Structure 1
Amino acid sequence: MTKRVHNPREVAEIVAIQALSFIASDGEKLGRFLAETGIGPETLRASASDPHFLTGVLDFVLRDDATVGAFSESSGHHPTTIAAARMALGDSPPERETP
């Protein structure tokens, strides 16, 4: 039997870790993410336990509509769930770039 998680922060962390896995599965996205965060591939796994890092993961996903849509489709999470996860992790999200 699977343990259900009800704590919003825990759920948000799970969504963020899923988002990290999504980013890591695409070499181009991963390269951009690593360049933006300044971390190296060797520290990626250790960084995944840092709540501030997880916030950055969701910020990266939410910055671009195409990335949000692709992650939403891949994970089964509605885009509003992804945004809610970001809010649950705290701090205010950066403004999105609009073309």
Structure 2
Amino acid sequence: MRKPTRNPREVAEIVAIQALSFVAGDPERLGAFLAESGIGPDTLRNAAADPRFLAHVLDFVMRDDATVKAFAEVSKLHPTNIAAAHQALNDPDSERDAP
């Protein structure tokens, strides 16, 4: 049975959730992210449901080449796929529920 096809925005959200897990796995990185985002650790899970927040997660990861490389290695994604997810979440013309 074939898996359902996902739209680029949905795939980008999945990558961003993986990136959030990556960020949360390192106390120093998580501290920097929380300070920058202005949210507390207790609201992190709820914030992850917001596509704008997920875009911010990828903004944070993409800002530093070493972070991108580390996330790519952990997630087994190519850095260009991470960049594509970043672009998809930051594209104002992209619809979340588009076919």
Closer/same/farther in 2, CA of residues 74 and 4 from structure 1, 3 Å limit = farther
Q: Cα distance, 1:91 vs. partner?
A: 4.2
Q: Cα distance, 1:2 vs. partner?
A: 8.5
2:18: which partner in 1? 18
Secondary structure, in 3 states, of the residue corresponding to 1:21? helix
Q: Deviations over 1:13-58 (max 9, x none)?
A: 0000000000000000000000000000000000001011000000
Identify which of structures 1 and 2 has the higher relative contact order when contacts are C-alpha pairs closer than 8 Å and 6+ apart. Answer: 2
2:48: which partner in 1? 48
Query: Over aligned residues, Cα RMSD in angstroms?
Result: 1.7
Q: Deviations over 1:40-81 (max 9, x none)?
A: 000000000101100000000000010000000000111110
Mapping for residues 1-99 of structure 1, pairs under 5 Å: 3-91=3-91
TM-score normalised by length of structure 1: 0.87
Closer/same/farther in 2, CA of residues 84 and 31 from structure 1, 3 Å limit = same
% identical aligned pairs: 70
TM-score normalised by length of structure 2: 0.87
Aligned AA (1:73): E
Q: Cα distance, 1:4 vs. partner?
A: 4.6
* Count of residue correspondences: 92
Can you give the 5+ residue segments of structure 2 that lack an aligned partner in the other structure? 93-99
